[in-house]
Amino acid sequence: MTQPSSAPLSAPWASRAGERRFWLAGALGALVLAAGLAAAHYMEVHGHAVTGMSNRIVWGVPHVFAIFMIVAASGVLNVASVGSVFGQPVYKARARLSGLLAVALLAGGLTVLMLDLGRPERIVVAATHYNLRSIFAWNVLLYSGLFAIVALYLWTLMERRLNAYSKYAGLAALVWRIVLTTGTGLIFGFLVARQAYQSAVLAPMFIAMSLAWGMAIFLIAQAALFAWQGRALDPAIRRRMARLLGVFVAAVLYFVLVYHLTNLYFARQVEFTRFILASGGAYPLLFWLGYVFVGSLVPLLLLFHPRSDDDRTVIVASTLVIVGAFAQLYVFIIGGQAFPLELFPGYAASSTFFDGAIAAYRPSLAEILLGFGGLALALVAAVVGVRVLPFMPEDDRRVVAAGSGAGE
């Protein structure tokens, strides 16, 4: 049952059970966050020797988590964009929650990235010294800028007198996050020497990824919040958003296809592509089973199948999309580095520094905990956020009716 729209926006949880779940989620998040911080401290004291990262796999599991969260942060804000910029009332009611999740995910991702640095205590240097030729430095600006813009955007959404400006703030956020995700993709796209990266297609691919992952996270968060408050989500709204997720998942699949097709066509890239898609052991397995099957095909089937239309299906499909995202990023980031740099084309190389060899990588508990700590930080931030401020979607009945009409 949908509650009357006159209910207070950030109402206390409707039931004791909801209240308990809220505290449970908060406590669980805080616990995992504490474990993540402890892991970061352990890494800081002992150095990265206690991780599986090495001189060959320089970015590991923490980066998989961090990049997932940063990319998803940009994508989860898309819900707000669809509402504010493209004027869809159903999405507009979700703009605030979308903004909150974006800030929470961005904070989680950046925290992981920061705590993984070799010298995290020097993070201020990243703010005082900019190398403007570095896409990384640009990303530092873009990330901080997104915080500011989303904060401003949320203000225009929450302060009635500023509501009129929310469209412009939303537009700024839309443009900013497209630039931001382009920048994140180009962190890899600009790596000219690495066979796995060095491709302009990574920029639009990252944007598609952000839309899919962000939507998946939003749908899970929305379902959880509605359940905790004992409210029912309008099936028409759910159906619309689920289909949009399906479209995004298909778009990612398209870009992944183009990326591998071009690599297969270039003779110099064939060996790498064979490694990542066929001969590379865990990486092809993660790619085909984890990303393609579990993370894309099954969710697509669930989302578009006419008879699987309920809350649980959407949650399962969204969860699978996220699982697939992690598999995809693991293959992309770690598999991409595991393949050796080709210094001497046409030669077989060997050295004490593992030239010509596939690099091994086994993540340690510390770096895995750090990654989950970032997710937990995002969870805690989101849970506290919806508790103290009116972030919950409030669907007006008439809007729902109009929205579902448009969605059919």
Partner 1 sequence: MSEREPVERDQAPSPSRRGFLAAVAAAAAGVMIAPGIRLIELAAARPAGEPASGAVRWGLLIDTTRCARGCEDCVAACARENALERRGETSVAETQRPQWIRKIELKELATGRELSLPMMCQHCARPPCVDVCPTGASFKRADGIVLVDQHRCIGCRYCMMACPYQARSFVHEPLARQNPAVPRGKGCVEGCTLCVHRVDRGLAPACVAACAEAGHGAMLFGDLNDPASAISRRLREVASVEVRADLRLGTGVRYQGI
The answer to whether residue 58 forms part of the interface with partner 1 (CB under 8 A) is: yes
The answer to whether residue 282 forms part of the interface with partner 1 (CB under 8 A) is: no
Q: Which is nearer to partner 1, 182 or 296 (CB)?
A: 182
From the list 27-35, 183-191, 250-258, 400-408, the region that binds partner 1 by CB under 8 A is 183-191
Beta carbons of 142 and 182 less than 8 angstroms apart: no
From the list 129-137, 274-282, 296-304, 319-327, the region that binds partner 1 by CB under 8 A is 129-137
The answer to whether residue 227 forms part of the interface with partner 1 (CB under 8 A) is: no
346 burial via Cβ count (<10 Å: 0-12, 13-18, 19+): exposed
- Interaction pattern, residues 189-208, with partner 1; x per rule: CB under 8 A: -xxxxx--------------
Q: In angstroms, what is the minimal distance from the CB of 327 to partner 1?
A: 21
The answer to whether residue 25 forms part of the interface with partner 1 (CB under 8 A) is: no
From the list 167-175, 185-193, 248-256, 270-278, the region that binds partner 1 by CB under 8 A is 185-193
The residue assigned the tokens 């020097």 is 122
The answer to whether residue 137 forms part of the interface with partner 1 (CB under 8 A) is: yes
Spatial separation of the C-alpha atoms in residues 76 and 79, rounded to whole Å: 6
250 burial via Cβ count (<10 Å: 0-12, 13-18, 19+): middle
Q: Which is nearer to partner 1, 114 or 316 (CB)?
A: 114
DSSP assignment, residue 359?
P
The answer to whether residue 134 forms part of the interface with partner 1 (CB under 8 A) is: yes
From the list 125-133, 210-218, 249-257, 388-396, the region that binds partner 1 by CB under 8 A is 125-133
Q: In angstroms, what is the minimal distance from the CB of 71 to partner 1?
A: 17
Other Cβ atoms closer than 10 A to 309: 14
Q: In angstroms, what is the minimal distance from the CB of 362 to partner 1?
A: 10
From the list 1-9, 100-108, 126-134, 176-184, the region that binds partner 1 by CB under 8 A is 126-134
Alpha-carbon dihedral of residues 275, 276, 277, 278, nearest 10 degrees?
30
Helix axes 95-115, 61-76, angle to 10 degrees: 160
Size of the site for partner 1 (CB under 8 A): 50
The answer to whether residue 140 forms part of the interface with partner 1 (CB under 8 A) is: yes
Q: Which is nearer to partner 1, 147 or 190 (CB)?
A: 190
How far, rounded to the nearest angstrom, does the alpha carbon of residue 364 sit from its chain's CA centroid? 22
Among positions 24, 126, 200, 232, the unique one binding partner 1 when judged by CB under 8 A: 126
The answer to whether residue 123 forms part of the interface with partner 1 (CB under 8 A) is: yes
Spatial separation of the C-alpha atoms in residues 96 and 90, rounded to whole Å: 12
The answer to whether residue 267 forms part of the interface with partner 1 (CB under 8 A) is: no
Other Cβ atoms closer than 10 A to 399: 18
Among positions 2, 3, 5, 54, the unique one binding partner 1 when judged by CB under 8 A: 54
H/E element holding 217? helix 202-228
295 burial via Cβ count (<10 Å: 0-12, 13-18, 19+): buried
Among positions 267, 348, 405, 408, the unique one binding partner 1 when judged by CB under 8 A: 348
Distances (CA, A) of 213 to 112, 233, 241, 301, 320: 18, 21, 13, 17, 10
The answer to whether residue 6 forms part of the interface with partner 1 (CB under 8 A) is: no
The answer to whether residue 48 forms part of the interface with partner 1 (CB under 8 A) is: yes
From the list 49-57, 83-91, 235-243, 296-304, the region that binds partner 1 by CB under 8 A is 49-57
Q: In angstroms, what is the minimal distance from the CB of 171 to partner 1?
A: 28
**Cβ partners under 8 Å of residue 169, min gap 6:** 84, 149, 152, 153, 155, 156, 157
The answer to whether residue 355 forms part of the interface with partner 1 (CB under 8 A) is: yes
Q: Which is nearer to partner 1, 250 or 359 (CB)?
A: 359
Residue 128 backbone class (left: φ over 0; alpha: ψ -120 to 50; beta: rest): alpha
Among positions 16, 129, 161, 307, the unique one binding partner 1 when judged by CB under 8 A: 129
What is the SS3 assignment for 155-173? Answer: HHHHCHHHHHHHHHHHHHH
DSSP assignment, residue 305?
-
The answer to whether residue 117 forms part of the interface with partner 1 (CB under 8 A) is: yes
Residue ranges in contact with partner 1 by CB under 8 A? 46-49, 53-59, 117-120, 122-123, 125-126, 129-131, 133-137, 140, 187, 190-194, 337, 341, 343-344, 346-355, 359-360
